[in-house]
Amino acid sequence: MSRTVIRGGLVITASDEIHADVLIEDGRIAALAASGTPAAEAWTADRVVDATGKYVVPGGVDVHTHMELPFGGTFASDTFETGTRAAAWGGTTTIVDFAVQSVGRSLREGLDTWHAKAEGNCAIDYGFHMIVSDVDAETLKEMDLLVEEGVTSFKQFMAYPGVFYSDDGQILRAMQRSAENGGLIMMHAENGIAIDVLVEQALARGETDPRYHGEVRKALLEAEATHRAIRLAQVAGAPLYVVHVSAAEAVAELARARDDGLNVFGETCPQYLFLSTDNLAEPGFEGAKYVCSTPLRPREHQARLWQGLRTNDLQVVSTDHCPFCFVGQKELGRGDFSKIPNGLPGVENRMDLLHQAVVDGHIGRRRWIEIACATPARMFGLYPKKGTIAPGADADVVVYDPHAEQVISAGTHHMNVDYSAYEGRRVTGRVETVLSRGEPVITEREYTGRAGHGVYTPRSTCQYLH
């Protein structure tokens, strides 16, 4: 039996802050005891981690990543190996990535493909959601089987006609099915049919620069799709989780639905909290680095997102990590913004940026852990194995130095991408040590993990419904 003790830190969970030592046995949290008490002092261990003056927090749970995603004729540049290593560097110990059903193929085939990409390559534990691109009778039946084997959430797209797009009828059918089998529908809520008209008109006017990506993908068309998804879910009697919410008007739709008592949830991402259309408008095609969908919004939207995170109208911050290199990938859209592969890198930056939000006074410390660890774990059926520090939980633990200063840069990050969306940004706080099921993955700022340590983690159904 291997034993580790983390001594002297401030243990922060979604519900508590206590000065406690943490005992880890065989990869799980065995006990907590107030630091300095005889109970804690009596623990012996093979490994002692000194966390004096530091926070001891649950490993981050990032429920929205796209390693190796095929998109726009290319592939997201992080593999499961490089992407999960970078996640660990940033204090994230679980990802839930999106397996993709190709049109005309089965869910099973898509899921098997994603298992093959991930297995033996991950530094941290991982699960899968399933992107449903082709709802038919067969797909609906397969959804039941996937729920039983731990793939309990399904993403549908109201955007990207001809690629991932589902029409309202397909969405309604999938929602009806999820109401029966306990699955959670995750919605990309943008009116893609209308957006494609605006794209065509913009290009015809010669508006080819990356900033037009933000102009055609209008906040109103995010709000409209969010509203429509909410009503379809209501008709189906199904819960709904709206991914990558960026528009103030969309948050208002979620808030209204929640005030009506619906099981409707929203996720936002650091890029919408910290970046804006100012970045998309950077000259010399630099704006391409910030092209993602939903798009970055004018700065004024950020206050509504922070408010939503405080009032629980938004429950989760994930990254939507979907990196494409500037050279050779983002450049595919020179002269036509609609050909820029959509997505931003960020799996390594989320815990730090949200800690900066604590420093800046947007959220409190426990809320930081709630939106980044505990609620994502509950929402997607991983709790209390993941997302907290409590006896019986997996020993996925981060020792975090809340006073260290760092500057985010592509020169020092570990993601396999040639730029950082946060280049030059100073943040207070830094990951020191990361344990995944008790094994040191990062040890005092050194990578000590290995590809293949991370295992597939099946999930139960949503644990967050009222």
Count CB atoms within 10 A of the CB of residue 220.
12
Instruction: Give me the residue whose beta carbon is nearest to Zn ion.
Output: 188
Residue 246 interacting partner from ligand URP, Zn ion, none (CB closer than 5 to 8 Å by kind): none
Beta strands 426-436 and 153-157 are unpaired
Q: How far is CA 102 from CA 133, 139, 163, 165, 354, in A?
A: 6, 11, 9, 11, 34
Choosing from 293, 319, 375, 416, the residue that interacts with ligand URP (CB under 6 A) is: 293
Question: What's the token pair of residue 176?
Answer: 């009806």
Binding to ligand URP (CB under 6 A) within 379-438 occurs at none
Residue 398: CB partners within 8 Å, gap ≥ 6?
55, 56, 57, 58, 59, 60, 91, 93, 351, 431, 433, 434, 435
Q: Does 88 bind ligand URP (CB under 6 A)?
A: no
Beta strands 264-268 and 316-317 are parallel
Task: State the binding string over 306-325 for ligand URP (x if CB under 6 A, else -).
Answer: --------------x-x---
Choosing from 59, 90, 343, 429, the residue that interacts with ligand URP (CB under 6 A) is: 343
Task: State the binding string over 174-203 for ligand URP (x if CB under 6 A, else -).
Answer: --------------x---------------
Which of the ranges 20-28, 72-80, 176-184, 320-328 carries the binding residues for Zn ion, by CB under 5 A? 320-328
Q: How far apart are CA 203 and CA 217, in angstroms?
A: 13
Q: Does 188 bind Zn ion (CB under 5 A)?
A: yes
**Cα end-to-end distance, the chain, whole Å:** 40
Residue 342 interacting partner from Zn ion, ligand URP, none (CB closer than 5 to 8 Å by kind): ligand URP
Instruction: Between 43 and 290, name the residue whose CB sits nearer to ligand URP.
Output: 290
Least distance from C-beta 441 to ligand URP, angstroms? 26
Instruction: Between 117 and 366, name the residue whose CB sits nearer to ligand URP.
Output: 117
Q: Are 127 and 394 in contact (CB under 8 A)?
A: no
Instruction: Between 66 and 258, name the residue whose CB sits nearer to ligand URP.
Output: 66
Report whether the peptide linkage leading into residue 84 is cis, meaning its omega lies within 30 degrees of zero.
no
Please give the helix or strand (H or E) that residue 64 lies within, else none. Answer: strand 60-65
Instruction: Between 255 and 316, name the residue whose CB sits nearer to Zn ion.
Output: 255
Coil vs helix vs strand at 441: strand
Q: Does 61 bind Zn ion (CB under 5 A)?
A: no
Q: Does 255 bind Zn ion (CB under 5 A)?
A: yes
Count CB atoms within 10 A of the CB of residue 419.
22
Residue 361: CB partners within 8 Å, gap ≥ 6?
none
Using CB under 6 A, list all residues that contact ligand URP.
Answer: 66, 188, 244, 292-293, 320, 322, 342-343
Residues that bind Zn ion (CB under 5 A): 188, 255, 259, 320
